[in-house]
């Protein structure tokens, strides 16, 4: 009988736009040299494990991370692009740090801290809309309970996928740390997905940006 399914959720690496400190959601920023090295470290750590498919978003930082994770694997896992796994659209805040958002748009920043899921980024997406689209895409068709899937995704997307698959409340998953090039491991026990351990970052070594 085939072993239980496993899912590895890797966050893409650092970008030329400095995703470690700046808000990039809908903006398509490429991986930086550091980001590529971070993902290559993750790929090396996961090399002994077989995977059926690699799930990515349409954004280049996710797709390139998926390609790096697939490199050197035989057979090469299929790259599956899931449109709904784009990061949240930060609207007018795209490219800003949170400190810049507080200084440039104090009214919206105050609501960001107060409105919870009802907050909509100015000119962008609401938290609730983001949550709903990622939840809807986190299906057995994308993450087969009996399969072995690797995913190279975004910070916010990873948190929602974990919450959706494990049954956590969104509020409980929100504080989870998600490092650039780090990953989480989920395993299906025949009834449900379970989170196995915490954030894995040992493979990053000196390349860990510290951003969570």
The CA angle 161-192-70, to the nearest 5 degrees, is 50
Q: For the beta carbon of residue 34, count every other beta carbon within 10 angstroms.
A: 18
Provide the strand spans (E) within the chain.
6-11, 53-56, 78-81, 148-153, 183-188, 193-200
Q: Is the sign of the CA dihedral 68, 54, 146, 131 positive or negative? A: positive
The answer as to whether 2 is a domain residue is: no
* Kind plus residue range of the DSSP H or E element containing 17: none
- Per-residue confidence (pLDDT) for residue 3, from 0 to 100: 54
Q: 3-state DSSP helix/strand/coil percent for the chain, to nearest 5? A: 40, 20, 45
Over the stretch 100-156, which tens digit does the pLDDT of each residue have?
999 999 999 999 999 999 999 999 999 999 999 999 999 999 999 999 999 999 999
Is the confidence at residue 2, as pLDDT, over 70?
Answer: no
- Per-residue confidence (pLDDT) for residue 115, from 0 to 100: 96
The answer as to whether 201 is a domain residue is: yes
- Per-residue confidence (pLDDT) for residue 210, from 0 to 100: 84
| Closest C-alpha to 59, from 28, 21, 91 | 28
The answer as to whether 72 is a domain residue is: yes
**Do 55 and 70 touch, CB atoms closer than 8 A?**
no
Over the stretch 159-168, which tens digit does the pLDDT of each residue have?
999 999 999 9
In this structure, what CATH number is given to the domain that contains residue 99?
A: 3.40.50.1240
The answer as to whether 197 is a domain residue is: yes
- CA–CA distances in Å: residue 94 to residues 43, 70, 135, 207: 29, 29, 23, 25
Average pLDDT along the chain? 96
* Max intra-chain CA distance, the chain: 58
* Segments forming the whole domain that contains residue 46: 11-205
Is the confidence at residue 1, as pLDDT, over 60?
Answer: no
The answer as to whether 6 is a domain residue is: no
Over the stretch 28-85, which tens digit does the pLDDT of each residue have?
999 999 999 999 999 999 999 999 999 999 999 999 999 999 999 999 999 999 999 9
The total number of structural domains that make up the chain: 1
The answer as to whether 44 is a domain residue is: yes
The answer as to whether 25 is a domain residue is: yes
**Tokens found for residue 109:** 């920043």
The answer as to whether 3 is a domain residue is: no
């Amino acid at each position: 009988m085939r072993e239980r399914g496993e899912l590895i959720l890797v966050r893409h690496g650092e970008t030329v736009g400095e995703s470690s400190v700046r808000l990039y959601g809908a903006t398509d920023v490429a991986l930086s040299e550091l980001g590529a090295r971070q993902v290559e470290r993750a790929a090396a750590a996961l090399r002994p494990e077989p995977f059926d498919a690699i799930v990515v978003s349409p954004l280049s930082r996710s797709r390139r991370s998926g390609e790096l994770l697939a490199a050197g694997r035989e057979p090469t896992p299929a790259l599956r692009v899931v449109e709904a796994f784009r990061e949240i659209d930060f609207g007018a805040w795209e490219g800003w740090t949170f400190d810049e958002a507080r200084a440039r748009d104090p009214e919206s920043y105050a609501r960001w801290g107060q409105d919870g899921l009802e907050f909509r980024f100015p000119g962008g997406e609401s938290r609730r809309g983001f949550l709903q689209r990622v939840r809807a895409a986190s299906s057995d068709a994308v993450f087969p309970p009996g399969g072995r899937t690797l995913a190279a995704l975004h910070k916010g997307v990873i948190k929602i996928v974990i919450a959706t698959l494990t049954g956590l409340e969104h509020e409980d998953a929100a504080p989870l740390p998600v490092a650039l090039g780090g990953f989480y491991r989920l395993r299906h026990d025949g009834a449900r997905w379970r989170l196995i351990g915490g954030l894995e970052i040992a493979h990053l070594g000196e390349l860990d940006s510290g951003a969570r």
